[in-house]
């Protein structure tokens, strides 16, 4: 048996297209491109005529900034949720955490007089504790994370409403502008970067940053290998020395932290917190992940794919009103787009890898 | 855990102190005696086959030796030193690698990522410590070649490999990370004849590199070619330990139980065939015994 | 290769789908530009109150020959609503109509619209805040005065201790209604207490009202601020056997409310005539666009209420309510 690597006759060279399509994010990229084409279709006649090109607003600087911002809000969550799903677990409580962390932030500033940066630390600390609690409950009890985090979804939301009303007799905490105007720290979350005609919200930069960090951790670190192993076969991973429990608890803390980040961005942007913020966001984040190629069964997925999944959702949410689809049909169309996105992503993956799973 | 240096020269002959020794191991589950008073020993470069029918206690013995269950009485001795195995990870650190049938592999991960799970190679330092993808791919491919496993591409998903190939990855992993004893739990049960032969070949390769191998199987045809010593269990008890020289294959089969029953069944079938022919039921084809 | 064919097929399907949702009107030389108005409110599509507003919008659009698009977030979420306003601005409409439940949160988005040169009119809520943001006019009912009117009527009917059932505490408009109500009662020596309920949960609302009434037997008047509060309260009184014993009044109309008034189990309803809140802004913006900046109201509030529906006119209003006009 020769030691040298020889050209095996069983290895074929795939053309670059097929190789590219077998990446988990391929389906999401294609879905995003199609969504883009759909929402800009009416403008194709416009080549050369700038006025017509911007007729429905989708391609104007303002429009682009708009759907980027909407995408960013889903994307920030989706990056962390993707890592957790690759690790084999779900977190349905991120939506409630957005409301809870946001309220912690606002109350710290308005009721307890903390500086914005300190209040943000408190909010993040709160989220990390709850995230660790989620992880501890799941790994200790062996219950499906779906159920554990569903319970936490209700618990967090209820506690947010109850405690807020206890402290303020209202369900919103507003009037934060006097504390946040001119504060440099707040600008990191709520500011906009003006580039020419474009006003890119800070959330977009956070989105890109969080996605890059997630991708790096997953593919370029030991911890990332542990995430794959934990989701692929937790028993096997445990037996070769991977600290499965620690990995899962860390991932739950990451999703909670991403919710806190989004809460800070929202609260600082609109200068108020609401007990109902974040409703249904957990489902949108999971949808973006799945469109991005992440399997619900764990062990496989891509933060880059989730990035494009979120981008597609953002384009769709803004594109629907801009296409003059009546408001009563908004949810129906969004649902159809979601289903098509997931089906497409699945089909591309099966075609590319040849694996039926 | 260190990578194994080239051990071929010194491992060809067994040393005197057994790598692993089980002395009178007993394990109960409630009031069920799973195994009682089992003793065996494995030296470097030896293949010991653990045989017995289903329910004989092979699984329990293996789980005890690999740290999953603590024994209720008896002791485990590693290279002359009596030890208490706290967990499978503890056993692994001490050099006992177990390859279970359900494989300890993550099907969606690449071969190299599976190979290095828990022992990832890194480059860089501090917060920039990176998982060394290139080194992982290269070393995995090399190690497999050294074992005689010709894998096409270590970045393909383990799920795309055949059953025999997956077993071989697991064995190569154990060998590479310095296991002294490899315990294989029914490695060939789910494989076809050709694949089983491939796995057996890798077992011999591991043996040649100086490891001790405990091979659990209920298939005598697979055990006989590679084993040097046979430990036979039946209903939790140790029927006997035999060196290969003392024991022809048929004797082995009989000892494993089933020998007597097969004889009896043979007898019954012959009687039935004779009866049918006598009574002339239908035409002669019906009564012809199927051999 | 099959893969490539599949991709081409998918893209084709996508394009066909796009074709069906594309807006029809694109600029062409020589034609007059169609007027398009974007309406963004905080009222969910499922809320019966807001579907009347939407009917007003549609009726005005059809009468004036313009396009009007209505959008709202799925939940009472100022972040989402701000983003919808941004989207509306991005589409470069000829006018924007918004409701203003939280001027602080929506301020930046609206100021951006005004800065982009788009005429903005507010309706329904925000009668105190709209001017500071550069909004041209407000169409609606001033909440404090409406509450005041209701309180005066209730006081005249002999109510001394009342509950104000608020289904959206924090919505300044609703808070002002209860405030006006309490002040009017206070002027004649009565009191009022605010009870908060969840607008999306009628069963819980009913339970809360029953609990409040049981806790304080001296209560002899209840004011609710909308159908989501009124209907469960009617149920609550029913199940406690107290129908007709407590003076009940509400804001805004619904078929059950009108029936209760006609039956005499409810004293009156304060109708802000939200159909007009959908209808008038469209008219105003169309005229503003067509005739060089006309704006009725002189920058002030164009009042659509309060209109009082009592046993005298209930029957007539019932028919209109069934048509989604009142």
What is the predicted pLDDT for the residue at A9?
A: 53
Domain CATH for A239: 1.10.3470
Rounded mean pLDDT, C162-177: 83
- Looking at the complex, report in whole angstroms how far the Cα of residue B90 sits from the nearest Cα belonging to chain A: 9
| CA atoms of C230 and C50, how far apart (whole Å) | 16
Token pair for residue A290? 């799945």
Q: Which of residues 91-130 of B touch A (CB under 8 A)?
A: 92-93, 98, 103-109, 113-114, 116-120, 122, 129-130
Rounded mean pLDDT, A327-343: 85
**Of B179, B208, B217, which Cα lies nearest the Cα of B8?**
B208
Q: Which of B89, B131, B146 sits opposite A221 (nearest CB)?
A: B131
Three-state DSSP at B75 gives: strand
Q: Do chains B and A touch (3 or more CB pairs under 8 A)?
A: yes
| CA atoms of B203 and B226, how far apart (whole Å) | 8
Contact B129 A222 (CB under 8 A): yes
Which residues of chain B neighbour A242 with C-beta distances below 8 Å? Answer: 117-118
Which residues of chain A neighbour C6 with C-beta distances below 8 Å? Answer: 347, 351
Instruction: Spell C14-25 as b/e; 16+ CB within 10 A means b.
Output: beebbeebbbee
Contact A295 B122 (CB under 8 A): no
- As for how many domains chain A has, the answer is 1
Q: What angle do CA C152, C156, C157 make, to 5 degrees?
A: 120
> What are the angstrom distances between the C-alpha of C52 and each of C38, C43, C47, C250?
17, 11, 9, 17
Is A11 inside a domain boundary? Answer: no
- Counting as contact any 3 or more CB pairs under 8 A, the partners of C are A
Q: Residue B219 — φ and ψ, nearest 5°?
A: -105, 105
Contact A220 B130 (CB under 8 A): yes
Q: What angle do CA A51, A68, A218 make, to 5 degrees?
A: 145
Which chain C residue has the Cα nearest residue A343? C10
**Residue B172 vs residue C11, higher pLDDT:** B172
Taking residue A354's Cβ as centre, other Cβ atoms within 10 Å add up to 10
**Of B134, B92, B99, which Cα lies nearest the Cα of B113?**
B134
DSSP, res A113: -
pLDDT band at A3; cut points 50, 70, 90: very low
Q: What pLDDT, in 10s, does the model give residues B179-194?
A: 889 998 888 887 788 8
Is A12 inside a domain boundary? Answer: no
Q: What angle do CA A325, A338, C1 make, to 5 degrees?
A: 110
Which residues of chain A neighbour B150 with C-beta distances below 8 Å? Answer: 1, 8
- Counting as contact any 3 or more CB pairs under 8 A, the partners of B are A
Q: Which of residues 250-279 of C touch A (CB under 8 A)?
A: none
Which residues of chain A neighbour C105 with C-beta distances below 8 Å? Answer: 174, 270-272
Which residues of chain C neighbour A186 with C-beta distances below 8 Å? Answer: none
- Looking at the complex, report in whole angstroms how far the Cα of residue B148 sits from the nearest Cα belonging to chain A: 7
Contact A224 B131 (CB under 8 A): yes
What is the radius of gyration, based on Cα positions, of chain A?
22
Where are the domains positioned within chain B?
8-110+173-247, 257-291
Decide if B214 contacts B160 (C-beta within 8 A). no
Q: Residue B281 — φ and ψ, nearest 5°?
A: -75, 115
Q: What is the dihedral of CA C286, C290, C293, C296, to 10 degrees?
A: -50
Q: Which of residues 27-46 of C touch A (CB under 8 A)?
A: 27, 45
Is A3 inside a domain boundary? Answer: no
- Looking at the complex, report in whole angstroms how far the Cα of residue C8 sits from the nearest Cα belonging to chain A: 11
pLDDT band at B1; cut points 50, 70, 90: very low
Contact C10 A344 (CB under 8 A): yes
Contact C27 A351 (CB under 8 A): no
**Of A42, B84, B43, A326, which Cα lies nearest the Cα of C58?**
A326
Which residues of chain B neighbour A232 with C-beta distances below 8 Å? Answer: 106-109
Which residues of chain A neighbour C90 with C-beta distances below 8 Å? Answer: 57-58, 60, 62-63, 65-66, 318, 322
Is B178 in CB contact (< 8 Å) with chain A? no
Which residues of chain A neighbour B68 with C-beta distances below 8 Å? Answer: none
Q: Which of A69, A272, A324 sits opposite C78 (nearest CB)?
A: A272
- pLDDT above 70 (res A216): yes
**Chain A / chain B CB contacts < 8 angstroms:** 93
Mutate to test the interface with A, among B67, B93, B106, B168 (most CBs of A within 10 A): B106
**Residue A325 vs residue C118, higher pLDDT:** C118
Helix orientation angle between C274-290 and C48-64, rounded to the nearest 10 degrees: 30
**Residue C23 vs residue A153, higher pLDDT:** A153
Q: Which of C11, C45, C79 sits opposite A327 (nearest CB)?
A: C45
Three-state DSSP at C134 gives: coil
**Alpha helix ranges (H) inside chain A:** 16-21, 26-40, 50-53, 61-86, 94-110, 116-141, 145-168, 177-180, 184-190, 202-220, 222-232, 234-239, 244-270, 281-291, 303-322, 330-353
Number of alpha helices (DSSP H) and beta strands (DSSP E) in chain C: 11, 12
Is A146 inside a domain boundary? Answer: yes
Is A62 inside a domain boundary? Answer: yes
Query: Scanning the structure block, which residue is given the tokens 């109500």?
Result: C181
| CA atoms of C157 and B117, how far apart (whole Å) | 80
Contact B131 A3 (CB under 8 A): no
Decide if B177 contacts B3 (C-beta within 8 A). yes
- pLDDT above 70 (res B138): yes
Contact B118 A242 (CB under 8 A): yes
Is C90 in CB contact (< 8 Å) with chain A? yes
Token pair for residue B206? 């591991």
Mutate to test the interface with C, among A321, A339, A344 (most CBs of C within 10 A): A321
Q: How far is CA A126 from the centre of its chain?
A: 20
Mutate to test the interface with B, among A23, A232, A294, A297 (most CBs of B within 10 A): A232
Mutate to test the interface with B, among A23, A236, A354 (most CBs of B within 10 A): A236
* One-character DSSP codes across A35-54: HHHHHHGGGGGGTT-HHHHT
- Looking at the complex, report in whole angstroms how far the Cα of residue A177 sits from the nearest Cα belonging to chain C: 8
Q: What pLDDT, in 10s, does the model give residues A238-255?
A: 877 789 999 999 999 999
Decide if C280 contacts C254 (C-beta within 8 A). no
Q: How far apart are the first and last CA of chain C?
A: 61
> What are the angstrom distances between the C-alpha of B136 and each of A302, B9, B155?
20, 27, 9
Q: Do chains C and A touch (3 or more CB pairs under 8 A)?
A: yes
- Looking at the complex, report in whole angstroms how far the Cα of residue B105 sits from the nearest Cα belonging to chain A: 6
Which residues of chain B neighbour A355 with C-beta distances below 8 Å? Answer: 157, 159-160
Contact C170 A327 (CB under 8 A): no
- Looking at the complex, report in whole angstroms how far the Cα of residue A5 sits from the nearest Cα belonging to chain B: 9
Decide if A82 contacts A293 (C-beta within 8 A). no
**Of B238, B220, B229, B244, which Cα lies nearest the Cα of B41?**
B229
- Looking at the complex, report in whole angstroms how far the Cα of residue A318 sits from the nearest Cα belonging to chain C: 6
Which residues of chain A neighbour C23 with C-beta distances below 8 Å? Answer: 42, 56, 323-324
Q: What angle do CA A271, C118, A68 make, to 5 degrees?
A: 50
Q: What pLDDT, in 10s, does the model give residues A13-25?
A: 666 776 777 777 8
Token pair for residue C77? 């979420």
What is the predicted pLDDT for the residue at A143?
A: 93
What is the predicted pLDDT for the residue at A10?
A: 55
- Looking at the complex, report in whole angstroms how far the Cα of residue A317 sits from the nearest Cα belonging to chain C: 9
Contact A274 C77 (CB under 8 A): yes
Please tell us whether the domain made up of B8-110+173-247 is placed in CATH 3.40.50.300. Answer: yes
**Residue A39 vs residue B12, higher pLDDT:** A39
Contact C102 A174 (CB under 8 A): yes
| CA atoms of B268 and B275, how far apart (whole Å) | 11
| CA atoms of A217 and A235, how far apart (whole Å) | 22
| CA atoms of A327 and A321, how far apart (whole Å) | 7
pLDDT band at B11; cut points 50, 70, 90: very low
Segments forming the whole domain that contains residue A162: 23-43+50-351
C6: which residues sit within 8 A by CB, 6+ positions away?
A347, A351
- pLDDT above 50 (res B130): yes
Token pair for residue A134? 């989620």
Which residues of chain A neighbour C69 with C-beta distances below 8 Å? Answer: 321, 324, 326-327
Average pLDDT of every residue of chain C = 83
Q: What pLDDT, in 10s, does the model give residues A59-95?
A: 888 888 888 999 999 999 999 999 999 999 999 999 9
- pLDDT above 50 (res C139): yes
C112 exposure class (CB count in 10 Å sphere: 0-12, 13-18, 19+): middle
Token pair for residue A265? 């961005």
What is the predicted pLDDT for the residue at A263?
A: 96
- Looking at the complex, report in whole angstroms how far the Cα of residue A312 sits from the nearest Cα belonging to chain C: 14
pLDDT band at C13; cut points 50, 70, 90: low
- pLDDT above 70 (res C287): yes
What is the radius of gyration, based on Cα positions, of chain C?
22
**pTM, full prediction:** 0.77
Average pLDDT of every residue of chain B = 80
Rounded mean pLDDT, A121-144: 96
Which residues of chain C neighbour A66 with C-beta distances below 8 Å? Answer: 83, 86-87, 90
Is A7 inside a domain boundary? Answer: no
Which chain A residue has the Cα nearest residue B67? A239
Rounded mean pLDDT, B227-248: 84
- Prediction ipTM score: 0.79
């Amino acid at each position: 048996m020769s030691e040298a690597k020889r050209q095996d006759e069983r290895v074929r060279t795939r053309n670059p297209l097929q190789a590219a399509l077998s990446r988990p994010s391929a389906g999401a990229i294609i879905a995003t491109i199609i969504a883009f084409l759909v929402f800009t279709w009416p403008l194709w006649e416009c080549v050369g005529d700038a006025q017509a090109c911007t007729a429905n607003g989708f391609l104007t600087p303002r429009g682009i900034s708009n759907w980027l911002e909407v995408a960013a809000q889903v994307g920030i969550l989706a990056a962390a949720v993707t890592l957790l799903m690759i690790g084999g677990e779900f977190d349905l409580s991120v939506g409630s955490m957005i409301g809870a962390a946001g309220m912690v932030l606002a109350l710290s500033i308005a009721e307890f007089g903390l500086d914005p940066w300190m209040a943000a630390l408190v909010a993040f600390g709160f989220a990390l504790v709850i995230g660790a609690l989620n992880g501890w409950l799941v790994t200790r009890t062996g219950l499906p994370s779906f159920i554990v985090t569903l319970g936490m979804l209700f618990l967090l939301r209820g506690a947010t409403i109850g405690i807020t009303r206890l402290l303020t007799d209202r369900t919103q905490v507003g009037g934060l502008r006097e504390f946040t105007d001119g504060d440099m720290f707040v600008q990191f979350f709520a500011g906009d970067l003006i580039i020419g005609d474009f006003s890119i919200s800070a959330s977009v930069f956070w989105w890109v940053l969080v996605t890059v960090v997630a991708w790096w951790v997953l593919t370029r670190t030991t911890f990332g290998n542990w995430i794959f192993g934990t989701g692929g076969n937790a028993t096997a991973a445990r037996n070769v020395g991977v600290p499965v429990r620690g990995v899962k608890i860390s991932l739950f803390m990451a999703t909670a932290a991403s919710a806190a980040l989004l809460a800070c961005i929202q609260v600082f942007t609109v200068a108020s917190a609401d007990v109902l913020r974040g409703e249904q966001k957990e489902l949108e984040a999971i949808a973006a992940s799945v469109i991005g190629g992440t399997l619900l069964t764990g062990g496989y997925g891509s933060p880059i794919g989730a990035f494009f999944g979120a981008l597609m959702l953002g384009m769709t949410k803004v594109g629907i009103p801009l296409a003059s689809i009546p408001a009563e049909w908004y949810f129906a169309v969004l649902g159809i787009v979601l289903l098509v996105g997931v089906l497409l992503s699945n089909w591309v993956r099966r075609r590319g890898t040849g694996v039926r799973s | 855990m260190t990578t194994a240096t080239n051990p071929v020269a010194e491992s060809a002959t067994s040393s005197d102190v057994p790598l692993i020794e089980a002395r009178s191991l007993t394990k109960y589950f409630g009031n069920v005696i799973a195994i009682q008073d089992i003793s065996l020993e494995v030296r470097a470069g030896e293949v010991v086959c653990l045989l017995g029918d289903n329910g004989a206690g092979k699984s329990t013995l293996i789980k005890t030796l690999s740290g999953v269950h603590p024994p209720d009485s008896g002791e485990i001795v590693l290279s002359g030193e009596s030890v208490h195995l706290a967990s499978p990870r503890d056993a692994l650190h001490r050099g006992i690698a177990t390859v279970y049938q359900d494989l300890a592999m993550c099907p969606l991960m690449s071969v190299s990522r599976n190979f290095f799970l828990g022992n990832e190679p890194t480059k860089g330092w501090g917060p920039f410590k990176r998982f060394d993808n290139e080194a992982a791919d290269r070393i995995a491919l090399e190690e497999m070649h050294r074992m005689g496993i010709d894998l096409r591409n270590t970045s393909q998903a383990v799920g795309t490999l055949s059953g025999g190939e997956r077993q071989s990855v697991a064995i190569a992993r154990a060998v590479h990370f310095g296991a002294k004893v490899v315990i294989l739990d029914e490695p060939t049960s789910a494989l076809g004849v050709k694949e089983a032969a491939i796995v057996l070949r890798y077992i011999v390769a591991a043996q040649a590199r100086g490891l001790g191998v405990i091979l659990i199987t209920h298939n005598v045809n697979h055990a006989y070619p590679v084993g040097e010593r046979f430990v036979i269990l039946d209903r939790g008890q140790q029927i006997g330990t035999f060196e290969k020289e003392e024991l022809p294959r048929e004797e082995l089969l009989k000892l494993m139980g089933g020998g007597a029953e097969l004889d009896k069944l043979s007898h019954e079938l012959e009687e039935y065939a004779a009866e049918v022919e006598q009574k002339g039921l239908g035409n002669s084809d019906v009564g012809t015994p199927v051999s | 290769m099959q893969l490539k064919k599949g991709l081409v097929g998918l893209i084709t399907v996508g394009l066909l789908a796009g074709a069906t949702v594309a807006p029809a009107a694109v600029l062409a030389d020589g034609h007059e530009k169609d007027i398009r108005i974007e309406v963004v409110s905080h009222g969910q599509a499922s809320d019966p109150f807001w579907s009347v507003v939407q009917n007003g919008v549609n009726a005005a659009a059809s009468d004036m020959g313009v396009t009007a698009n209505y959008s709202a977030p799925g939940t009472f979420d100022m972040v989402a609503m701000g983003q919808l306003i941004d989207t509306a601005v991005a589409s470069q409409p000829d006018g924007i109509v918004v409701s203003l439940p939280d001027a602080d949160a929506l301020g930046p988005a609206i100021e951006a619209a005004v800065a982009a040169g788009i005429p903005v009119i507010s309706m329904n809520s925000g009668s105190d805040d709209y001017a500071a943001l550069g909004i041209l006019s407000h169409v609606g009912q001033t909440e404090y005065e409406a509450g005041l009117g209701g309180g005066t009527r209730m006081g005249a009917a002999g109510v001394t201790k009342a509950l104000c059932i608020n289904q959206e505490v924090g919505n300044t408009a609703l808070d002002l209604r209860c405030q006006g109500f309490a002040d009017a009662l206070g002027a004649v020596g009565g009191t009022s207490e605010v009870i908060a309920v969840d607008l999306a949960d009628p069963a819980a609302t009913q339970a809360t009202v029953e609990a409040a009434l049981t806790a304080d037997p001296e209560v002899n008047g209840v004011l609710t601020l909308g159908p989501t509060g009124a209907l469960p309260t009617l149920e609550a009184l029913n199940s406690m056997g107290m129908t007709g014993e407590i003076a009940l009044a509400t804001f805004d109309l619904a078929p059950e409310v009108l029936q209760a008034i006609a039956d005499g189990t409810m004293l009156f309803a304060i109708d802000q005539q939200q159909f007009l809140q959908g209808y008038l802004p469209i008219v105003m913006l169309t005229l503003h666009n067509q005739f060089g900046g006309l704006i009725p109201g002189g920058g002030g509030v164009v009042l659509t209420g309060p209109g009082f529906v009592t046993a005298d006119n209930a029957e007539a209003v019932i028919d209109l309510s069934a048509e989604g006009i009142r």
